[in-house]
Amino acid sequence: MTDLAIQIDGLRFAWKGNAPVLDVPAFTLARGERLFLRGPSGSGKSTLLGVIAGVLEADAGKVSVLGQDLASLSSSARDRMRADHLGVIFQMFNLVPYLSVVGNVTLPLKFSAARRKAVGGDAEAEAKRLLGRLGLTDEALLERRVSDLSVGQQQRVAAARALIGAPEIVIADEPTSALDADARDRFITLLSEEAARTGAALLFVSHDASLARLFDRAVDLAEINRAGVKA
Amino acid sequence: MSAVLSLAWKSLMNRKGSVILTLVAVALSVALFLGVDKARTGAREGFGNTISGTDLIVGAPTGSVNLLLYSVFRMGNATAEVSWPTYQKIADRPDVAWTVPISLGDSHRGFRVLGTTNDYFVHYKYGRRQPLKLAEGAEFSDLFDAVIGADVARELGYEIGTPLVLSHGLGAASLGAGHENRPFRVVGILAPTGTPVDRTVHVSLEAITAIHVGWETGAKNPLADTINEKMIRSFDLTPKTITAFFVGLERKGTILTTRRAINTNKGEPLMAIIPGEALAELWSVTAFAERALMAVSVFVIAVGLVSILTSILTSLNERRREMSILRAVGARPGHIFSLLVLEAGLVGFLGAVVGILLIHAILLVAGPMVEARYGVSLAGTGPGLTDLYTLLAVTLASLLIGMVPAWAAFRRSLADGLSVKV
C-alpha cells in the first residue's frame, strides 16, 4: 500500500511517428489530494490522462496507479484497473445518449464488481443520493432524456458517475469549460466536496489558471512536461 | 454479458427508426424464404398425399412420370391405351388383390371425366389411406349416373339430380363435338379430399363406351344420333380399351416381381410404376427449379443481413463518442466488440421472429384461398422445425455479420483511447 494515487517517473510518450508529446520526469498525486493541473489545449493533457487511465501505453518510464506499475499489467488488467479505481469526467458530451440519467450514473457499476460492492445493494438509490448531493434532486429531471439536460446538469450527472462506487481517483478533463463562471465554481466546489467525502484523489485539468485557488495544490503541465509541445 | 446485452437493447431502442427499417427488411426476406419453402413442402405433401394404398399403376408404355401425371393428377394425356383382355389378364393374376380400371379423355366444362367402376370408391385412397367419402347421394348404379368431386359441385353449383353433358376431348365447351345426346345425371357428390379427385367427374366405364358409340373413328359419325338410348343399353358396353389401371397386391413383398412380370408381359407391352417411385422421379425433375427458387430467397435473406451491416456501419461514426465514454467507465474493447455484435444479433433475431410471424399470418389468411385455387394445401405447414432453424441461422448469421462493424469499432476504440473528439 502506497500513499500515492499516481506516480510518474521519466514518462515519455509520442504518437506513432510524431515528435514526443510527453516527457514528464516526475509527477505525483497523493491519495485524497485535490490537484489542479493547468495546461493550455494541445499541451498533452488529454494524452497524459490517457496514459494514467491506462488506455495509452507509455513509450518509456514508469506510471504507477495506486502502487501498480501500469506497464506490468496486461491491457485487460489496465481496463479492469480503470473500471475499479478511476472515475472520469470529460469536457462535454459525457453521457451515453440512450441511457437514462440514473442509467448513466450507474454505468460504471456494470463493468466493475469492486465498485458494485462498494455501493452495496441499491445502485439506483446510491445514484440518486449522489445526484442529490450534486444538486440534481428533481425526480422529473431524472426521467428526462439526457440530451434534454443543460450542459451544467450533464456535467453534474457525469460527476456523479465518476464518483459512484467510491473510486480512489477522479480525473476531470476540462469539465467546466462549457459552464459560466458561477456554475463553474459551484460545480468544482460540489465535486471537491464529494471527492473529499469518498476519499477520492481529484486530478482536475484545465487551461483556466484562475481555478487553481479552489484546489489543494496546482501544477503547470508546461513546467513538468519537457516536451512542451504546442499544437 | 447481460450488462452489454441490455446496453445493446437500449442503444437499438434509441435508434428505433432506422432499426425498424432494417428489421422490416430482415423480416420480409425471412418471410419470403419461409413462404417459398412452405409452398414447396405444401406442394410436395399435396402431391404425395394424392394417392396411397395403391401398389402399382399400369398403363401403356410411356415415361413413368407421364403415366403418374395423367392417371393420378389428370395432367397431360395418355399416348396409348391398354386393351381390355390384357387388363383382365393382369387382374386375374394370383398376386393381384384388386384392380381399378380408369378411362380418361372426355371432359365436362373444363373438368376431366374419369370412367371407372364402383371399385374406385372402395380401393382408391389418398392421404393417410383415407378412402373417398360421399358427401351426398350414392355411387353409380345406372349407365348415365355421374359422381362428381367437391370442387366440381361447388364451382358449377351442381346438386344431386343435375343433368350434365360430357364433351369429347378436353375443350372447355366444345359445342357440336359433344355428347349432347347422352345426358348424365349427378347421383353422388364426394367429400373434399384436397386432391385432383375434387376436380373430376366420375362415370362408369360402360358409360364411356356408350357415349362413344358412333365415335369409333375418333370423330362423330353422322349416324350416331340415330342410335337411341334404348338401343345403346342393349349393346355390349364392355370397353375395348382402358387408359390405365390401379393395382393392389395380395402381399406387398411381391411388388418388384409383380412389376417385372407386368413390364415383361408377353403380347401387349405394358408399363407398371410404383407411385412413390414415380413421385420421387417427378421431384428430381422439379428439384432444379426448387433449388433455384430457394437460392434466390437465400440471397434475399443475405440482402436483409447486409442491411443490418450497413445500418450499423453507418452509425459507427456518430457513436464514436459513445464508445469512448464506455471505454472511460471501464468497458474493455471486448465489451465494445460484443455490444455491436449483439446489436446485429438482436436485429437479426427480432427480424426473423417478425418474419416468421408474418408468414404464418399470411398463410392463415391466404392459405385457404391458395388451396381452393391451386389445390396446394398450406394448412399442414404450421410453425415447425424449419422456422426454428431459419431463426437460428439468421440470428447466427447476423451475429457473424455484426463482427465486421464490431471489429472496426474495436480497432477504433483502441486507437481513440479516452480522447473524445468533438
Q: pLDDT of A100-127, one tens digit each?
A: 888 888 888 888 888 888 888 888 888 8
What is the structure's pLDDT at B8?
Answer: 87
- What's the average model confidence in pLDDT over B175-204? 82
How far is the C-alpha of B406 from the C-alpha of B312, rounded, in Å? Answer: 9
Cα–Cα distance, A142 to A198 (Å, whole number): 23
Reduced to 3 states (helix: H, G, I; strand: E, B; else coil), residue A33 is coil
pLDDT band at B416 (very low <50, low <70, confident <90, very high): low
Question: What confidence tier does B226 reach under pLDDT thresholds 50, 70, 90?
Answer: low
Chain B: residue whose CA lies nearest to A106: B329
Q: What is the per-residue pLDDT for B200? A: 92
CB-CB neighbors (< 8 A) of A84 in chain B: 330
Q: Is residue B56 over pLDDT 90?
A: yes
pLDDT at A231: 42
pLDDT at B175 over 70: no
> B413 to chain A: nearest residue by CA?
A55
The interaxial angle of helices A181-198 and A151-163, nearest 10 deg, is: 10
The SS3 assignment for A53 reads: coil
Instruction: With beta carbons under 8 A apart, name residues in chain A contacting B330.
Output: 79-80, 82-84, 86, 108, 111-112
Note whether B1 contacts A: Cβ–Cβ < 8 A: no
What does pLDDT average to over chain A?
A: 83
Rounded to the nearest 10 degrees, the angle between the axes of helix B385-416 and helix B16-48 is: 150
- Name B244's bridge partners: B59, B102
HSE, CB side, 13 Å, CA atoms: give it for residue B359: 29
Whether the CB-CB separation of B178 and B107 falls below 8 Å is answered with no
pLDDT tens string B102-146: 999 888 888 899 999 999 999 998 887 888 888 888 888 888 899
pLDDT band, residue B78 (cuts 50/70/90): confident
**Contact between chains at B417 and A88 (C-beta distance less than 8 A):** no
pLDDT band with cut points at 50, 70 and 90 for residue A2: low
Contacts of A207 (CB under 8 A, 6+ apart): A38, A39, A40, A41, A174, A177
Radius of gyration of chain B (CA): 31
The shortest CB-CB distance from B330 to any of A49, A97, A111 is to A111
Question: B389-409, pLDDT tens digit by residue?
Answer: 989 999 999 999 999 988 888
Record: contact A96-B3, CB cut-off 8 A: no
Q: Higher pLDDT residue, A102 or B48?
A: A102
| In chain A, where the domains are located | 32-44+81-224
pLDDT (mean) for A39-65: 82
pLDDT of residue A27: 86
The residue in chain B having the minimum alpha-carbon distance to the alpha carbon of residue A99 is B10
Cell of A17: 511517428
Task: Give the 3-state DSSP-derived string for chain B, with helices as H, strands as E and coil as C.
Answer: CHHHHHHHHHHHHHCHHHHHHHHHHHHHHHHHHHHHHHHHHHHHHHHHCCCECCCEEEECCCCHHHHHHHHHCCCCCCCCCEEHHHHHHHHCCCCEEEEEEEEEEEEECCEEEEEECCHHHHHCEECCCEECCEEEECCCCCCCEEEECHHHHHHHCCCCCCEECCEECCCCCCCCCECCCCCEEEEEEECCCCCHHHHEEEEEHHHHHHHCCCCCCCCCCHHHHHCCHHHHHHCCCCCCEECEEEEEECCHHHHHHHHHHHHCCCCCCCEEECHHHHHHHHHHHHHHHHHHHHHHHHHHHHHHHHHHHHHHHHHHHHHHHHHHHHHHCCCCHHHHHHHHHHHHHHHHHHHHHHHHHHHHHHHHHHHHHHHHHHCCCCCCCCCCHHHHHHHHHHHHHHHHHHHHHHHHHHHHHHHHCCCCCC
**Residue that is written with C-alpha cell 357428390 in the block:** B189
The pLDDT value recorded for residue B422 is 38
Q: Among B189, B247, B198, B185, which Cα is nearest to B56's? A: B247
ipTM here: 0.83
Q: Where are the domains of chain B?
A: 2-47+287-416, 56-273
> What average pLDDT score do residues B226-237 get?
74
Work out the average pLDDT over A123-143: 81
CB-CB contact of A69 with A78 (8 Å): no
| B10–A103 C-beta distance less than 8 A | yes
Distance from CA of B24 to the nearest CA of A (A): 22
Q: How far apart are CA A117 and CA B218, in angstroms?
A: 97
Q: Fold for A32-44+81-224, please state it.
A: Rossmann fold (3.40.50)
Q: Mind telling me how many Å the CA of A46 is from chain B's nearest CA?
A: 6
